[in-house]
Structure 1
Amino acid sequence: MNLRYVLQSLRRRPAETIAAAVSVALTVAFLILLGSFTAQTGARLTLRAAARVPVDWQVQVTPGSDPAVTATALRDIPGLLRFRAVDYAKVPGLSSVSADGGTRTTGAAYVVSVPDDYRSFAPGEIRLLVGAADGVILQQQTASNLSAAPGTTVTVLGARRTAQVTGVADLPNADSFFQVVGAPPGSGASAPPDNVLLVSPARFTTLTAGATVVHQFHLRLERASLPTDPAKAADEVTRRANHLVAAVAGGALIGDNLGTSLSAAREDAIYARLLVLLLGVPGLLLAGVVTALVVSLRNDRQRRDLALLRLRGVSPRRAAILIGGTALLDGLIGAAVGVGVALLAPRFGPYGDPSTTWLIAGALTGVLLALATELTPLARTLRGSAPTVQAGVNPLPPTRTPLALRLGLDVVLLTGSAIVFWLTARGGYQVVVVPEGVPVASVNYAALLAPALAWPGMALLIWRVTVLALNRAARTPDADRSGSMPDLRHDVVRRRRIPIARGVTGLAIAVAVTVSAAVFTHTYDQQARLDTALTVGSDVAVTLPPDSTTGLDPAIAAVPGAAAVEQVSHRLVYVGPDLQDLYGIDAATIGRAAPLQDAFTPGSSIKTALGRLAATPDGALLSQETLHDYQLRTGDTVQLRLKDTGGAYRTVRFHVVGVITEFATAPRDSFVLANRSYIASATGLSAVQTLLVRTDRPASVAAAIHAPAAALVNDITAPRVAVPSASGLAAGSLSGLSRLTLAFGILLAAASAGLVLVVGATQRRRSTTALAILDASPRQRSGFLWTEARALTIAGAIGGLAAATVIAAELIKVLNGIFDPPPQHPAVPWLFVGAVLAAAIASAALATTLATRWAGRVDPSRLRDL
């Protein structure tokens, strides 16, 4: 009998079952995809952090130890792929004879022994520019200093041995390649050496005779077996390194490049979890609310069925089983559809295949949600607490203000959110704190209270304002010549203010969840593009190594599609004992090609700072760190040392005109910005090492530029250098979460608007039937539904946009650390916002149209409801 009742219910009312199953499916799919995103983001971040490391470990043999013992111990490391021996020797310098007969000599240099297959062993370490890969290779900067090319003979000072250059190469990861292994963080060399000679092991001994040799082994580890979480993977790599150090009894030190990169990715993993918490969870809760709303469409019908079952003598327990069977069917169908959607989603978006655990968890959640939603409203009647069966079937709409509003909970929550937001702002919005050199990260969860309190506070405030707006005093009845019954419609809306306010709140939160997520992700995308442009330099950039004397001809960038070309002199300068990058620019015009933001110049706008620089020929903008370390202030004189035409460093005087934190192609630590013309006149070198090109077609313009062999042509669409960012989420993690939230957000916003009105129409079927008996026309009856629809849609849209503004502002400020550089203002995707509102309005119009047609029918079944 139980199964027969459920099947008959499905046959007679298929629309209700389909609507309930679809809503459950949305929640199930959303939960599975959100959970899978959370689980897989860590794995993606781990793989991405590992992929940036060309050499996982640099194992350096300590003086007096036997390299053969260390090599034997390396073979027992778990997960070892392969290793190669690399030797370093520091020599007094290198010299060469130029074509004009002049001799060029460098300062101290490094001669490095690399195996013949090293480029295939570590593809990211050596990038050949010209010549052959085997033989003697000069670093690009060294070749520039010696004015050498393939075929040039170079003398190694000290051993006084000569070698013929076969190629010129760039060392993209020179910082790690020449790191001081075993030194505490921050205590190593401030910059990699300028002069490097790469040779084969066979020639290394003769070229470095008498020099101290440092023996290293470069290792590659198998990464697939590492834990998926970056922090756990870093701990695992560190434990392996400690085991090796113990195995060789202090005979070697380890430069753990892989562990360092994985430790840096732990901040990204924390931000990913916070994004799920602040962007995904509100959407998931909203999906549950919409599902409960849809499933509740059965409640009125089931109250009536329950009344009939009780009249026929069915026990409450038996009635609960019968009605629970229908709810179980809704949940099972919805769970099956939701699991299917989650399995298909990876084919259409940046999602991985969901795990079995999340599939089971999502399905169980959908079934339990359907059961709870359908059975909970019937509990009163099953317990017999309803005064009569008729009262249980046809309850009157509530008119009493909810307890939370009577207690002023909305004011309390919003006040608390504002206080927390102010305290967070005063502290600099550091929600994730990662101390430098410390392998742990802490989360300031108190900062998350601002948006956490704002969500329920805004929902209750929207409810309160809607009730107050709809509870206006009824107008004095007047002659209704048009027959539209405006006074009666106003009074009906006033009496139904609580159900309408509930619907307005649901629609507003749906709009707020979707729009706030869209604003956040759009702002992130904008700043990510700016971050890439800062690293590249502009839409297209042509670069030579710093201090290159050959320079670049601006004419090579005058290709079709180039809107503006700016010249930048990239020099190396000593600030005290620190070697920093110096960028010579044309301050008045640099903004034509370089990306600029006020965030680059704290305490001033970028326009004002560049204006001061342009007005001061010997002016310089310095980093905050440099100003602090050397106790400098605006207006002070600073002595810097630059290379002149003879290659020697000379002192040049500059005046500090301000502070700058970031600039195109500049490193993220210390650098100096000055006037290009002043640098050229002070040093006698006018060579330009960088060309910045503004264009709307970066890929085609980059392909059209014919740069010298030693130059690197880079564009914003496919940067050939690593693009760092404050968060590693730029590549795919955030896009996956945003697509998930925005796609479901539009569906939920439309569902919230339409389904609330459908529920309201079903709740008012008795009143529409009564109006029909009183000879009200279909147009007059539909007027009541359209009046309610207009009130709900307008109030929901306005409330949703207001809530989205507050939530988006708090999200961007609280998660300020994920942006690099911080945004000047939120970026609003107006087209998407319009699409969300259009979807809600269209859904409300469609639902009201269908409801009015349904309300226009009067048949015996409707009369029995009276």
Structure 2
Amino acid sequence: MLRMSWSTFRDRWQVFVGAIVTVCLGVALVQSSLLTLVSAATADIPAGLSATEARELRDGYDGAVALLGMTVGLAAFVAIFIVSSTFAFTVAQRRRDLALLRLTGAGRRQVRTLLVGEALLLGALGSALGALAGVPVMRLQGAMLDGFGFVPAGFVGEWRSWVLYVSAGTGIGISVLGVLAASRRAAKVRPLEALREVGGAARVMTASRWVVGMFFLAGSIALVVLVSVLGGEAALPLSIFVSFTLVIAFTALAPLVVPLVSLPFGLLFRGRLGVLAHANLRAGVRRSASTAAPIMVLVAFVVGMAGTMATITEASRQEVARDVRADLVLTAERPIRDQVAAVPGVGAVSEEAPVTVDMGLDYGDGELTYEGVDALAVDPAGYARTHRLAPTAGDLADLRGAAVAVSPSYAPELRFRVGDTLPVRMEGGPARLRVVALLPDTLAGPFFLVPRDLTAEQGPPRYLVQASDPAAAAAGLGRLGEVTTARQWIEANADEQQRQSVDVMVALLGMAMLYTVIAMVNAVVISASDRRGEFAAARVTGLTRGQVVRTALGEALGVVAIGLLLGTLAAAGTVVGIAFAIKDMIGISAASPPWALLGAVAAGATLIVAAASVLTTLSATRTPAIRLVAARE
């Protein structure tokens, strides 16, 4: 059977091109991410840096490690998803061939061996190409992390020979995992199906599709509820995981959606070609669902993540606007509180400076984990006057000496209590800080407040000012530093957070989403390659070549509509989950669907699928129709 696998792979190599490229890119991205991740995790901090600079550099490396870990998981998921879709599609097309194989004496195990053998060949070839492509991808990834500020200039992952074994295992593993479900379905093909005229008329919504679809749909609903309960830093990764489960659920249940989408499609296009495209959509349910799958993945991940991050940014903006009671914000290079307070028209002043503290936290394993946490050094009296802040326990007035006020939303599992002492490491500061107040849950921060005189290692201060005459106060403060209104400062912070979110999204999804574009084209090519006889029959009954192309194009647009619909539903589930979490966490209702991005993704997917459909249909109709019809059995 392995020899037959090679023969099939060699004869039908066009069908597997997209899957080979997908495995290649998956291996390249996993290899690159692993090498870069290990290099970032083991990078040495250069001597001679200040404590603040060393901490910032280590935090950047830690951020890169977290981002690369998510990239590896996402790349593996998308690669397995696309390879499995490809094999599922080819099994549906080869149903009659497989039945003939069964009719000639092949057992179910031999059929599965045939497909697994094809997957091994695909995985081996993809792994070899991916290992070569991984080196330039690693350099590109290093430059991307450098550009986004995660790593210092010139950083690049170091080559390690063991990664070749990981690459080979990744490529072959992706291919084999992707073919398992398809091989199980192929083994169920009955020998007598070889005698049927239409071998692909098997029932599409099988029991396994129902079970998988409903299981992952129920799991997605449970995750949305869990996101709303947990909130905090766990909300974003869990929301992304909701996209995974919804994509799997909707892929399994997609054949149910095809008739629903084809109904309005048939009403919109009432001509002969529209009726034919409508009929093709309904008749080729499996083909339509398989072609729509990569479009759904593209929309679900890109729009879902963009919507999640935009919702977090909007909620943070609303939270800061709700909690700040200042009129003006002054940014200075050094502490000048007395000068600020002396400016005519200035009332209350809050002096605030960012500070990073290495804090020892016990996550339940009995061992302290020192983390660099971002805190805000404040004068508690001035901070209370310029912010709407009501501690849930303790008193902010006690924020003096070796003290800290903590928001439990930083890490709900730690269960901070007033009176706890937290070990810290800082130059010239105390060894422990006592928790004197618990701050309300927050999304925008700060999660930690410390006294202004706790440590000298602080960033440039800012001053939030309440003014009886904002215009006069702004004129006087302008001589001390950069002055903006509180509203402008809030909007600028929100814009910066959105920019950072876009950087993270590009780094996380940029390479992985290239898979979906390849998968779109690959699905259309596979679909058209099996329809030469169908196109020829349409032409001998009176349709011109151009009309056949337009019919296929109309059908492709219907498939795009299916993918956009399901992908938008999956993205909406992600955004709804994070919106529920934010509402439960800080009491703010915020949802920011990225309509412009959704429109751009929809337009791009439509253009890609339409162009691929036209080109492949032209290629499939190049042979004279009568010759293909005469060659049919």
- Give your verdict on TM over 0.5: yes
Establish whether residue 286 from structure 1 lines up as the match of residue 78 from structure 2. Answer: yes
1:348 aligns to what SS in structure 2? helix
- 1:545-569 CA-to-partner distances (Å, cap 9, x unmatched) read 2456699999xxxxxxxxxxx9996
Question: Mapping of 1:121-520 within 5 angstroms?
Answer: 124=50, 281-294=73-86, 327-350=119-142, 352-353=157-158, 355-370=160-175, 377=182, 385-389=190-194, 394-396=199-201, 398-400=203-205, 403=208, 405=210, 408-409=214-215, 412-425=218-231, 429=232, 431=234, 452=241, 455-457=244-246, 459-460=248-249, 464=253, 467-468=256-257, 470=259, 483-484=272-273, 486-520=274-308
Shift of 1:449: 6.0
Query: 2:24 corresponds to which letter in structure 1?
Result: A
Shift of 1:423: 2.5
Structure 1 residues 329 and 538: alpha-carbon distance in aligned structure 2, compared to 1, 3 A threshold: farther
Which residue in the other structure is 2:488 paired with?
none
Which residue in the other structure is 2:518 paired with?
751
Query: 1:348 corresponds to which letter in structure 2?
Result: L
- 1:435-474 CA-to-partner distances (Å, cap 9, x unmatched) read xxxxxxxxxxxx9766545643465357657625615898
Question: In the alignment, is the contact (CA less than 8 A) between 2:538 and 2:548 conserved in 1?
Answer: yes
Question: In the alignment, is the contact (CA less than 8 A) between 2:228 and 2:582 conserved in 1?
Answer: no
- 1:812-838 CA-to-partner distances (Å, cap 9, x unmatched) read 87699xx9x999956666665554333
Question: In the alignment, is the contact (CA less than 8 A) between 1:569 and 1:689 conserved in 2?
Answer: no
Query: Take 2:22 and 2:571, find their aligned partners in 1: how far apart are those partners?
Result: 24
Question: In the alignment, is the contact (CA less than 8 A) between 2:80 and 2:175 conserved in 1?
Answer: no
Structure 1 residues 508 and 582: alpha-carbon distance in aligned structure 2, compared to 1, 3 A threshold: same
Query: Take 2:179 and 2:396, find their aligned partners in 1: how far apart are those partners?
Result: 71
Question: In the alignment, is the contact (CA less than 8 A) between 1:24 and 1:338 conserved in 2?
Answer: yes
Larger RCO: 1 or 2 (CA < 8 Å, sep 6+): 2
Question: In the alignment, is the contact (CA less than 8 A) between 2:116 and 2:180 conserved in 1?
Answer: yes
Question: Mapping of 1:53-64 within 5 angstroms?
Answer: none
TM-score, structure 2 normalization: 0.61
- 1:318-338 CA-to-partner distances (Å, cap 9, x unmatched) read 998888766544333321221
Shift of 1:747: 1.8
Structure 1 residues 340 and 502: alpha-carbon distance in aligned structure 2, compared to 1, 3 A threshold: same
Structure 1 residues 370 and 862: alpha-carbon distance in aligned structure 2, compared to 1, 3 A threshold: farther
2:379 aligns to what SS in structure 1? strand
Query: 1:743 corresponds to which letter in structure 2?
Result: G
Bigger mean CA offset, 494-503 vs 658-667: 658-667
Question: Mapping of 1:511-550 within 5 angstroms?
Answer: 511-520=299-308, 541-547=331-337
Question: In the alignment, is the contact (CA less than 8 A) between 1:483 and 1:780 conserved in 2?
Answer: no
Larger radius of gyration: 1
Which residue in the other structure is 1:781 paired with?
548
Shift of 1:400: 3.5
Establish whether residue 26 from structure 1 lines up as the match of residue 22 from structure 2. Answer: no
Shift of 1:344: 0.8
Within the candidate set 562, 570, 582, 1:795 is matched to 562
Query: 2:611 corresponds to which letter in structure 1?
Result: L
Question: In the alignment, is the contact (CA less than 8 A) between 1:336 and 1:363 conserved in 2?
Answer: yes
Shift of 1:25: 0.6
Query: Take 1:527 and 1:492, find their aligned partners in 2: how far apart are those partners?
Result: 45
- 1:278-324 CA-to-partner distances (Å, cap 9, x unmatched) read 67534531222223344667657877877888999999999988887
Question: In the alignment, is the contact (CA less than 8 A) between 2:291 and 2:559 conserved in 1?
Answer: yes
Structure 1 residues 828 and 539: alpha-carbon distance in aligned structure 2, compared to 1, 3 A threshold: farther
Query: Take 1:745 and 1:776, find their aligned partners in 2: how far apart are those partners?
Result: 40
Query: Take 1:280 and 1:815, find their aligned partners in 2: how far apart are those partners?
Result: 28
Shift of 1:865: 4.4
Query: 1:543 corresponds to which letter in structure 2?
Result: E
Shift of 1:848: 0.8
1:394 aligns to what SS in structure 2? coil
- 1:170-223 CA-to-partner distances (Å, cap 9, x unmatched) read xx99xxxxxxxxxxxxxxxxxxxxxxxxxxxxxxxxxxxxxxxxxxxxxxxxxx
Query: 1:581 corresponds to which letter in structure 2?
Result: D
Query: 2:529 corresponds to which letter in structure 1?
Result: T
Gaps in structure 2 of 5+ consecutive residues = 146-156, 353-376, 399-438, 453-462, 470-475, 486-491
| Structure with more helix by fraction | 2
Bigger mean CA offset, 22-31 vs 449-458: 449-458
Count of paired positions: 522
1:431 aligns to what SS in structure 2? helix
1:344 aligns to what SS in structure 2? helix
Within the candidate set 692, 700, 709, 2:482 is matched to 692
Shift of 1:741: 3.2
Query: Take 2:275 and 2:557, find their aligned partners in 1: how far apart are those partners?
Result: 16
Query: Take 1:8 and 1:494, find their aligned partners in 2: how far apart are those partners?
Result: 30
Query: 1:423 corresponds to which letter in structure 2?
Result: V
Question: In the alignment, is the contact (CA less than 8 A) between 1:303 and 1:392 conserved in 2?
Answer: no
Shift of 1:530: 13
CA RMSD of aligned residues (A): 6.2
Query: Take 1:417 and 1:855, find their aligned partners in 2: how far apart are those partners?
Result: 45
Question: Mapping of 1:417-816 within 5 angstroms?
Answer: 417-425=223-231, 429=232, 431=234, 452=241, 455-457=244-246, 459-460=248-249, 464=253, 467-468=256-257, 470=259, 483-484=272-273, 486-520=274-308, 541-547=331-337, 581=379, 621=387, 624=390, 628-629=394-395, 668-669=449-450, 675=466, 690-693=480-483, 738-808=505-575, 810=577
Establish whether residue 853 from structure 1 lines up as the match of residue 618 from structure 2. Answer: yes
Bigger mean CA offset, 309-318 vs 398-407: 309-318
Question: In the alignment, is the contact (CA less than 8 A) between 1:567 and 1:688 conserved in 2?
Answer: no
Question: In the alignment, is the contact (CA less than 8 A) between 2:40 and 2:64 conserved in 1?
Answer: yes
Structure 1 residues 784 and 845: alpha-carbon distance in aligned structure 2, compared to 1, 3 A threshold: same
Within the candidate set 844, 850, 862, 2:609 is matched to 844
Question: In the alignment, is the contact (CA less than 8 A) between 1:307 and 1:393 conserved in 2?
Answer: no
TM-score, structure 1 normalization: 0.47
Question: Mapping of 1:41-120 within 5 angstroms?
Answer: 41-43=40-42
Query: 1:292 corresponds to which letter in structure 2?
Result: S
Question: In the alignment, is the contact (CA less than 8 A) between 1:624 and 1:660 conserved in 2?
Answer: no
Shift of 1:341: 2.0
Structure 1 residues 839 and 340: alpha-carbon distance in aligned structure 2, compared to 1, 3 A threshold: farther
Shift of 1:15: 3.7
Query: Take 1:321 and 1:460, find their aligned partners in 2: how far apart are those partners?
Result: 28
